[in-house]
Amino acid sequence: MKIWCCLCFTQGDEPEEDDSEAEAIMKEGDFGNDGNSEGAIGNGDEIDGNAQSLGLVGNERGRNDHLVLFEGMVEAMRGGGAQWDESVCVGALASLRASIGNPWISEGESSSAADNGSDHDSHHKRAKVQSFNHNFHHAMAMASGAGNSSSSAERDYRINESSFIPYKSETFFQNTTPNIGCEEGPFDSGSGKDDDGDHSGTSKTEDLEVRMDLTDDLLHMVFSFLDHINLCRAAIVCRQWRSASAHEDFWRCLNFENRIEDICWRYPNATELNISGTPAIHSLVMKALSSLRNLEVLTLGKGQLGDIFFHSLADFQMLKSLIINDATLGNGIQEIPINHDRLRQLQLTKCRVMRISIRCPQLETLSLKRSNMAQAVLNSPLLHDLDIGSCHKLSDAAIRSAAISCPQLESLDMSNCSCVTDETLREIALACANLHVLNASYCPNISLESVRLPMLTVLKLHSCEGITSASMVAISHSYMLEVLELDNCSLLTAVNLDLPRLQNIRLVHCRKFADLNLRCIMLSSIMVSNCPVLHRINITSNSLQKLALQKQESLTTLALQCQSLQEVDLTDCESLTNSICDVFSDGGGCPLLKTLVLENCESLTTVRFCSTSLVSLSLVGCRAITSLELTCPYLEQVSLDGCDHLERAAFCPVGLRSLNLGICPKLNVLSIEAPNMVLLELKGCGVLAEASINCPLLTSLDASFCSQLRDDCLSATAASCPMIESLILMSCPSVGSDGLYSLRWLPNLILLDLSYTFLTNLKPVFESCMKLKVLKLQACKYLSDSSLEPLYKDGALPALQELDLSYGTLCQSAIEELLSFCMHLTHVSLNGCVNMHDLNWGSSAGQPSLSGMFLPENVQVPIEQPIRLLQNLNCVGCPNIRKVVIPPAARCFHMSSLNLSLSANLKDVDVACFNLCFLNLSNCTSLEVLKLDCPKLTILFLQSCNIDETVVEAAISKCSMLETLDVRFCPKISPTSMGRLRAACPNLKRIFSSLQQS
């Protein structure tokens, strides 16, 4: 690896830096002088990372800092006793000294010549050091704690002597190699002169350079004798040295022994100290505290602290917070005293100690959580927060003595102290009049009998087996109570509380809890869950906004007087009866209710809501409901999925914008008054016979498969919903001509679906729907052959664009006339029409002609064929089509899709359409001739066609934009011919073919 080092020198007129000041800067990063001034790298000077540039200081050392660095490494290596060629060291050192001492060494000079020019050192200015990366100085500061005592014997590796190749001194430094630090070296570029002012041999002195070759193996050998501090210093020289110094062999054993004392000595004004996770925590903290007299926060842990530490705490008058976690205090026999006049916070968590005595007159917060002391003596009159949770060895008397000695106590946590009794609580209540927070969870001996805590605001009693309904008497005297938690109180059967300030209550997994009665004006949150026998709830509150009582399977009675309640979730409350409707209707006690969820409440049969506030209602899965009446003018959303037994439904009035009742197959009576509704779907209401629909803004009505819907219902709906644009009456056989005449009340109707009806003529449609664009008449088998004559003879439905006559019985002539003279149609579907014969729009005269076509005498054929607007033609499954010819003379300039699939007798297809993009001839098993002149065709389906591959190749050769070709299951097209097809159409991207041919 080759690296560049530019040694640059300034002229004599450049001001020199003050040596003493620079030397002080160089020492700024040291944690302390360990006396190793003659070590591997001098006296351990470091470079300040905040400086822009610093001069190398101190006569010989200042001018030759890198020489001293490398010289120290080599000397250390020589003294290390390694078995290697010493001539390498001597030659390298001599070459480096000569090179740095005389920058004018030219190429080809020997290293010995440099020895004679050592006097040049005094003739050159000090080299300037560039600013170094801040991250590296951080690493140096960290490594400075490693100490300088480590040697090669202390490292966790060995150097393989046989792997090192000695070099001759005269070849060690090659002048032709790059110099050190060209890109990242510590020296700036500059020019230099000798004292006589003579220039060197070149005109550009900044290009002069000293070249050295320090191989990676040599650097690895030399660096192995350095400690961590000097490794970090070597890393700032250049990129190669930084890479070499970072080798993992050098950092296997990290030693920061005795550095904490140096750090504390250097920063005596520190106010916070954290020493955790070190086995020798006692000795470390004692050494640190000897220098830190302004300490305010001390955090210790994971070790053992002796008695001396606690006796010396009083000497640190500024200490305010002491935190000790998971430590052993003292020797386990004597009492540990903690005496401090200014300590305000003390935490001794998970500590192991026999007895402890605390005398801190200013102490405010004390935590002994999970510590195993048997006795705790407190003398802290200002203590207001005491946590002795999970102190299992503390006796009832010890807890009582500790608590009553703190008259200002406001918060007490005695959770998991199983020995606590009601007597202790009574004495604490008398001694601590300001107690606000009490956590007595997991205390089985507590029943709260004869206990009075009037100032209590938070009470937590999780898993207290002694808490019963009688305990509520004592709790009711805590008139300041705001939070009450009674989870897992297995013997609790009823809660009856009248607390004016209660805001939050929890009742979870109370297996015998059956009755809840709360009169709490400020109650804002209630959590009741997994109480299997709870059957009655009565809540009075002016602040409760959300109530969730999910999976209360036994709940039958619910009474609410909640003026602010807005959301209620009663999912899976299977026992709720129809009386719940009165609770959530106007006058039921919830005047602001907006969202109500009654999903899977399977006992509801008749649901009636009359609410001026309800916005959302969910009755999903309520299978037993047969009657639904909603008088909710602002109701915007209702979900009825799974209400498959609903027979009668009334929405009068509601604010719904859309409603889907197609999931209610038994619905037979419907009444809707919805001034904002725009979409109504009745698809599947097969027994719907009576329907009153008053929706003035309704635009879409889908009544598919409403087989009982009659003309009078259709007429009334058309009269009350004049804005309907889409009307689907598919499979409504009861609709006749009288109902269709009522369509004149729908001036905006653009889509009409009369498929699968028994209509015999379309005169009501032609006379009533002047703006109709889409007409669907699938399987209308009772229409006469002359039913469509007004379309192409009288110009009926001038706006019509889409016509679907699939599976109809119109005669051949009617179909041919329709296709020939209804030029304004854009989409025509004739799927499955048995009377659809050959389609031939080509003739020598340029006029349309259909094979077998006999035009009536009164029909005048224009001389010039007009442009057809046809875009999509579907003739799927027409068994009598044998030939399709669409030449350019047919003027089908707009046709983009042609579907002739499943036409088993189709043999000849000749299509020339400029804009055709999609052609489907799949399953046309008789297809033999295929001629295409469709330059924009992109998709061609020929699946299961008995057509020769040469015909396909010739056909697609004129389809330059074809991208997808499907020739699967074509017996005459082999997979090996795919190359020919791609060659015929170079733009082809996807070919679907079968791997096996029949």
- Contact of 121 with 7, CB cutoff 8 Å: no
Query: Packing angle between helix 65-79 and helix 216-223, nearest 10 degrees?
Result: 70
Which tokens in the block code for residue 630?
């909603």
Say which amino acid occupies 581. Answer: C
Mean pLDDT of the chain: 79
Q: Cβ of 858: how many Cβ atoms within 10 Å? A: 6
Give per-residue pLDDT as tens, 221-266: 888 888 877 888 888 888 888 888 888 888 777 655 566 777 778 7
Give per-residue pLDDT as tens, 657-684: 999 998 889 999 999 999 999 999 999 8
| Reduced 3-state DSSP string for 308-354 | HHHHCHHHCCCCCEEEEEEEEECCCCCCEEEECCCCCEEEEECCECC
Q: In this structure, what is the dihedral angle of CA atoms 8, 13, 19, 25, given to the nearest 10 degrees? A: -60
Q: How far apart are CA 331 and CA 310, in angstroms?
A: 12
Query: Which of 131, 152, 158 is closest to 55 using CA atoms?
Result: 131
Cis peptide before 361 (omega within 30 of 0): no
The H or E element containing residue 276 is: strand 272-276
For 659, counting Cβ atoms within 10 Å of its Cβ (0-12 exposed, 13-18 middle, 19+ buried), the class is: buried
Q: Point out the least confidently predicted range of 300-314, 485-499, 583-597.
A: 300-314
Give the pLDDT of residue 68: 53
Give the pLDDT of residue 264: 77
Alpha-carbon distances, residue 516 vs 271, 363, 489, 565, 633 (angstroms): 54, 42, 14, 18, 33
Q: How far apart are CA 436 and CA 418, in angstroms?
A: 21
Segments of 331-457 assigned E as strands? 336-339, 345-349, 355-359, 365-367, 375-379, 385-387, 411-413, 437-439
Which tokens in the block code for residue 904?
């088993």
Give the pLDDT of residue 16: 38
Give the pLDDT of residue 75: 53
Give the pLDDT of residue 158: 33
For 922, counting Cβ atoms within 10 Å of its Cβ (0-12 exposed, 13-18 middle, 19+ buried), the class is: buried
- b/e sequence 583-619, b meaning 16+ C-beta within 10 Å: bbbbebbbeebbebbbbbbbebeebebbbebbbebbb
The DSSP secondary structure of 399-410, one letter per residue, reads HHHHHHT-TT--
Give the pLDDT of residue 832: 94
Q: Point out the least confidently predicted range of 50-59, 287-296, 465-474.
A: 50-59
Give the pLDDT of residue 123: 36
CATH pick for 397-544 out of 3.30.70, 3.40.630, 3.80.10, 3.30.479: 3.80.10
Q: How far apart are CA 350 and CA 912, in angstroms?
A: 89
Q: How far apart are CA 649 and CA 663, in angstroms?
A: 13
- Contact of 546 with 524, CB cutoff 8 Å: no
The H or E element containing residue 473 is: helix 471-476
Give the pLDDT of residue 92: 44
Q: Which residues pair with 438 in a beta bridge?
A: 412, 459
Residue 440 pLDDT greater than 80, yes or no? yes
> What percent of the chain has a predicted confidence (pLDDT) above 70?
75
Q: Cβ of 250: how many Cβ atoms within 10 Å? A: 20
Give whichever of 36-45, 175-184, 704-713 has the largest mean pLDDT.
704-713
Alpha-carbon distances, residue 892 vs 124, 827, 836, 914 (angstroms): 94, 13, 19, 8
Q: In this structure, what is the dihedral angle of CA atoms 405, 411, 416, 421, given to the nearest 10 degrees? A: 50
Furthest C-alpha separation in the chain = 128
Q: Which residues pair with 506 in a beta bridge?
A: 485, 527
For 711, counting Cβ atoms within 10 Å of its Cβ (0-12 exposed, 13-18 middle, 19+ buried), the class is: middle
Q: How far apart are CA 568 and CA 167, in angstroms?
A: 88
Confidence category of residue 911, pLDDT binned at 50, 70, 90: very high
Which tokens in the block code for residue 912?
């020339």
Which tokens in the block code for residue 70?
């490398």
For 637, counting Cβ atoms within 10 Å of its Cβ (0-12 exposed, 13-18 middle, 19+ buried), the class is: middle
Residue 151 pLDDT greater than 70, yes or no? no
Alpha-carbon distances, residue 284 vs 150, 305, 316, 350 (angstroms): 20, 10, 16, 21
Give per-residue pLDDT as tens, 690-716: 999 999 999 999 999 999 999 999 999
The DSSP secondary structure of 478-527, one letter per residue, reads -TT--EEE-TT-TT--EEEE--TT--EEEEES-TT--EEEEE-TT--EEE
Q: Please identify which residue in the block is written with the tokens 């109180």.
A: 489
- Structural domain 837-841+868-997, CATH architecture: Alpha-Beta Horseshoe (3.80)
Give the pLDDT of residue 255: 59
Confidence category of residue 511, pLDDT binned at 50, 70, 90: very high
Q: Point out the least confidently predicted range of 166-170, 268-272, 335-339.
A: 166-170
Q: Which residues pair with 485 in a beta bridge?
A: 460, 506
Which tokens in the block code for residue 990?
């996807």
Mean pLDDT of 758-774: 92
Residue 348 pLDDT greater than 70, yes or no? yes
Give the pLDDT of residue 46: 36
The DSSP secondary structure of 897-953, one letter per residue, reads EEE-TT-TT--EEEE--TT--EEE-TT-TT--EEEE--TT--EEE-TT----HHHHH
Residue 47 pLDDT greater than 90, yes or no? no
Give the pLDDT of residue 662: 85
**Three-state DSSP state, 718:** helix
pTM assigned to the model? 0.68
Q: Please identify which residue in the block is written with the tokens 């032709």.
A: 176
Mean pLDDT of 168-186: 35
Give the pLDDT of residue 713: 93
Give the pLDDT of residue 107: 35
Give per-residue pLDDT as tens, 818-854: 888 888 999 999 999 999 988 888 753 334 443 333 3
Give per-residue pLDDT as tens, 373-388: 889 999 999 999 999 9
Q: Cβ of 381: how many Cβ atoms within 10 Å? A: 13
Residue 122 pLDDT greater than 80, yes or no? no
Residue 748 pLDDT greater than 80, yes or no? yes
Q: How far apart are CA 40 and CA 34, in angstroms?
A: 13
Query: Which of 117, 115, 124 is closest to 12 using CA atoms?
Result: 124
Q: How far apart are CA 919 and CA 889, in angstroms?
A: 19
Segments of 769-833 assigned E as strands? 774-776, 802-804, 827-829
Confidence category of residue 721, pLDDT binned at 50, 70, 90: very high
Confidence category of residue 603, pLDDT binned at 50, 70, 90: very high
Give per-residue pLDDT as tens, 925-953: 999 999 999 999 999 999 999 999 999 99
Give the pLDDT of residue 331: 77
Segments of 622-760 assigned E as strands? 627-632, 637-639, 648-654, 658-660, 669-673, 679-681, 690-694, 700-702, 726-728, 751-753
Query: Which of 488, 496, 490 is closest to 515 using CA atoms?
Result: 496
Q: Cβ of 435: how many Cβ atoms within 10 Å? A: 24
Q: How many CA atoms lie within 13 A of 574 on its CB side?
A: 5
Q: How far apart are CA 778 and CA 761, in angstroms?
A: 14
Q: How far apart are CA 128 and CA 753, in angstroms?
A: 91
Q: Cβ of 908: how many Cβ atoms within 10 Å? A: 17
Query: Packing angle between helix 281-289 and helix 259-266, nearest 10 degrees?
Result: 20
Give per-residue pLDDT as tens, 546-569: 999 989 999 999 999 999 999 999
Give the pLDDT of residue 69: 54
Q: Point out the least confidently predicted range of 324-338, 600-614, 834-848.
A: 834-848
Distance of CA 103 to the CA centre of its chain: 61
Residue 389 pLDDT greater than 90, yes or no? yes
Mean pLDDT of 42-61: 35
Q: Cβ of 156: how many Cβ atoms within 10 Å? A: 10
Q: Please identify which residue in the block is written with the tokens 């087996």.
A: 465
- Contact of 447 with 423, CB cutoff 8 Å: no
The H or E element containing residue 138 is: helix 134-143
Mean pLDDT of 865-883: 91
> What percent of the chain has a predicted confidence (pLDDT) above 90?
56
Give the pLDDT of residue 457: 97
Q: Point out the least confidently predicted range of 69-73, 439-443, 496-500, 700-704.
A: 69-73
Q: How far apart are CA 725 and CA 867, in angstroms?
A: 29
Residue 187 pLDDT greater than 60, yes or no? no
DSSP annotation of 42 = B
